[in-house]
Amino acid sequence: MCAKGRRMYEHVRIQKEKGRIVKKTALTTIANEAALSRAAIEASNISGRFITPRLIDVDFSQGLMAFEYVEGIQPLFHFRRNTPLFEELVSKSALCLRDIHRHLRLDDRAEIAIPGLPSDNSALRAFLHGDFNLENVQYDAIKDRLVVIDWSLSPLVISGRGTFGPIEWDVSWFIRSIFMTRPYHGLDLRLRRRAADLFLLTYFGDKQHIPRSISSFLSVCYDFCTPRRNPKISWHLYARQTLCRCAFHRYVNELNQSL
Q: What is the pLDDT of residues 143-163, one digit of tens each?
A: 999 999 999 877 666 555 678
pLDDT of residue 162: 78
Q: Is 119's pLDDT higher than 90? A: no
pLDDT of residue 2: 36
Q: What is the pLDDT of residues 75-110, one digit of tens each?
A: 999 999 999 999 999 999 999 999 999 999 998 888
pLDDT of residue 6: 40
Predicted confidence band of residue 230 (pLDDT cuts 50, 70, 90): low
Predicted confidence band of residue 34 (pLDDT cuts 50, 70, 90): very high
Average pLDDT over residues 179-198: 91
Please give the span between the terminal C-alpha atoms of the chain, in angstroms, as a whole number: 50
H or E element that contains 39: helix 30-47
CATH topology of domain 72-258: Aminoglycoside 3'-phosphotransferase; Chain: A, domain 2 (3.90.1200)
Enumerate residues 6+ apart whose C-beta is below 8 A from 128: 100, 101, 104, 114, 153, 162, 163, 164, 165, 167, 169, 170
Q: Is 7's pLDDT higher than 70? A: no
